[in-house]
Amino acid sequence: MTVHDFLYFDKQNEKKMFRSNKKRNIIFVLSVILGIASLLLWHSRCNVDTFGQQETLTYLITAVAMLIISIYGISATFADIMLAILLKSKKVKYKKDNLFVIRTFASKARTMSFTFGTLSMLILLSLLCLNFSSINKGVYRSSIEENAPYDVDVVDFEQPFEDFNEYIQVVDEDYTIKETIEYPIYKEPQHQIQDYYNPEFYEHDPVMKLSDYNKLLKLRNMDTMELKDDEYCIVTRNQLVHKIEGNEAIQTIQFAGKDLHLKGFETQSFWSTMTTMGRFVVIVPDEYVQNLEISEQHLIIDTKEETTPQLEKKIEKKLAHLLGNITEDGEENVEYYRVKVRGTVIEEQNAMTAMMASIE
């Protein structure tokens, strides 16, 4: 190797990775913006409220792809920016052994930028996976609370309503019953709220009186609700609030010949079998339900022990005569969906979580 060759290769250690500072700066700025946008997109979609929506997976994949591109762009350009700053200052460059450090840094920056980008990507992906795991845990809990917040939930919606004592006796054989609550759902014939949900299926609004609603809240250790004489509240599923939110037409409704003003919406206490009539319940002071017809009757049982799927099977087997009816053709139709046991829902969620974990 000649002296010329030696000086040439030695000089390469001071060469920057990008010939054009302008292009490098543009790539750096775009990479930073892309990274911030990807994190904001991930944050906006990866939460309990939107996690179950069909398009969420597409948004999350897009966010991860944007983040990966951003990491590699920042890793490559940031090293070159640092090198340019150091090489620009002769005082820093030729002071002590800084020249050796700068040349070593320049050499490693060109060869290790991809590796550092990969390591950074893996670290961030690990953090995103932890975030995903936390959201998945929240979805798991919220799904159980939405489908079976109480140990046993039984509904009857055909008059004359049956006596729930047999259900209580069957549960009492294997479990210690702490409390039972029976509550009716009433029909409000003007269907002022139902028009914005499913008017083609139901011709009235489901209504619950405030005292019954507060009993159910206490059983779940939730704060009770207070309503003035001229107020009402709507309990609905969180994903369906948009159907009525901001609707001026329901700010005041006619109820039992009196104007009732909307106090607000409640979503945390809603569960899927709260009523079989639509996806919401109107909560009103007790005196306003006196002249309304009862559409369905519910039984809630709170047990000391955790329930299991075997309890639901036992109820279905022993009380099939209560869960069934005779059709016009003379055939027996057993309505097993009228009984909901928390232990069964938990086992179903555990099985689903196990399957998802094995796929991942």
Closest CA to 74 of 129, 132, 34: 34
Residue range 278-297, pLDDT digits in tens:
789 999 999 999 889 999 99
315, burial (CB in 10 Å: exposed 0-12, middle 13-18, buried 19+): buried
Residue range 266-278, pLDDT digits in tens:
988 999 889 887 7
Whole-angstrom distance, CA of residue 182 vs CA of residue 139: 29
Residue range 115-157, pLDDT digits in tens:
666 777 777 777 767 766 776 777 778 888 888 999 999 999 8
Whole-angstrom distance, CA of residue 29 vs CA of residue 73: 9
Share of the chain above pLDDT 70, in %: 76
- Per-residue model confidence (pLDDT) at position 309: 92
H/E stretch holding 338 reads: none
Residues in CB range of 84: below 8 A, 6 or more apart: 16, 21
pTM value > 0.85:
no
Residue range 30-76, pLDDT digits in tens:
988 988 998 888 777 766 566 556 677 788 788 878 888 888 788 77
Residue range 165-216, pLDDT digits in tens:
999 999 999 999 999 999 999 999 888 888 888 766 778 899 999 999 999 9
Whole-angstrom distance, CA of residue 86 vs CA of residue 143: 56
